[in-house]
Homo-oligomer: A and B are copies of this chain.
């Protein structure tokens, strides 16, 4: 078993998730590359050291360039705000490090392109944290589709609703400003849905018409009591889409959908069946195929289990439930295999760029009121 030294930049939610994944991967998967928790970076030196101890890293730093330049680090997790994804990823790739970057790729297509260029110029593997595609059950669904279980893919329909900003009483923030953060639900939520669309359909979106809605148009100005500020980006983002393969589909996301906590629901329609998934029940897949006996036709509810690889790295029996962090560990496993074999995994920066292009096209279409090419 070979080791690979890893550095994590950022210690919030995603830094934590990456760190647990690094700590668990060897035990879960055995064989392959075993991560060695080498260097942890947080902009706050005191927190960096405290988290280092909690998380079990060998060393800590508050300067991300220390990670980039560390000879004992071969793989870097970029778990910082989107606005610095490009800067760090490019530096890491130039220093010859593999990069595991959280989603979305960047704040605009220009930055994403710079990241892609850096990846192309390097010999390193890259991966974006579109983790919902890494669920063993979702990967298994993809396999089933490729095996023809639902026939020819004929359509993709997806929704991703969350209620993070549903409360009209939440004050204005940088997320609600086009200048400060770019698009709203499009950037934050749609990117996940596009990743699923591309992965599950096995084809990319090539043409679309998009629309925006801002449901809470004014929000309290946190700095000026009694005043409000205008929300000038999208709470809701929708699109009709054509894929390169010729199929069509729909996408809609909202950040103001009360009651939806992780409401990513998608359906793949096929000429012989249908597969559906709801991320709030990540361990369940719905599958409809034609039945010989018309009295017995219906959607199956498939529970994730050891036949949905690599579920069995975690649990020997079905129905025992994988969680978000287990799926993150699967994601890492996929990246480690790519590093070991030199064969890219999905979604690399190449794949991420295509996702960014769709979000950009939705933005152009929503602003122009026209169908546009991606």
Contact = CB atoms under 8 A, between A and B. Distances in A.
A260 interface: yes
Contacts of A322: 321, 323-324
A216 B271 CA distance: 8
A81 interface: no
Interface string A21-65: 001101111110010000000000000001101111000000000
Contacts of A261: 303, 305, 317-320
Interface stretch (A68-76, A111-119, A224-232, A262-270): A262-270
Q: Which of A16, A211, A298, A371 has the most CB of B within 10 A?
A: A298
A302 B307 contact: no
A268 B54 CA distance: 38
Given A30-B54, A320-B261, A303 B307 contact: no
B240 A238 contact: yes
Interface stretch (A85-93, A173-181, A286-294): A286-294
A101 to B, nearest CB: 19
A320 B283 CA distance: 11
B34 A16 contact: no
A155 interface: yes
Nearest to A135: B321
A278 to B, nearest CB: 10
A369 interface: yes
Copies of this subunit: 4
The interface residues of chain A, by DSSP majority, are classed as mixed
Interface residues of A, number: 100
Interface in A302-334: 302-303, 305, 307-308, 314-326
A262 B319 contact: yes
A352 interface: no
B324 A295 contact: no
A31 B164 CA distance: 28
A219 interface: no
B28 A53 contact: no
Given A54-B27, A321-B324, A259 B307 contact: no
A84 interface: no
A39 to B, nearest CB: 15
Interface of A: 1, 13, 16, 19-20, 23-24, 26-31, 34, 50-51, 53-56, 140, 143-144, 149-150, 154-155, 157, 159, 162, 164, 167-168, 209, 211, 213, 215-216, 236, 238-240, 247-248, 250, 252, 254, 256-263, 269-274, 279-285, 287-290, 294-303, 305, 307-308, 314-326, 369, 371
Given A294-B305, A369-B371, 10 more contacts: A23-B56, A150-B258, A168-B271, A211-B240, A236-B248, A260-B319, A262-B321, A280-B303, A281-B283, A294-B307
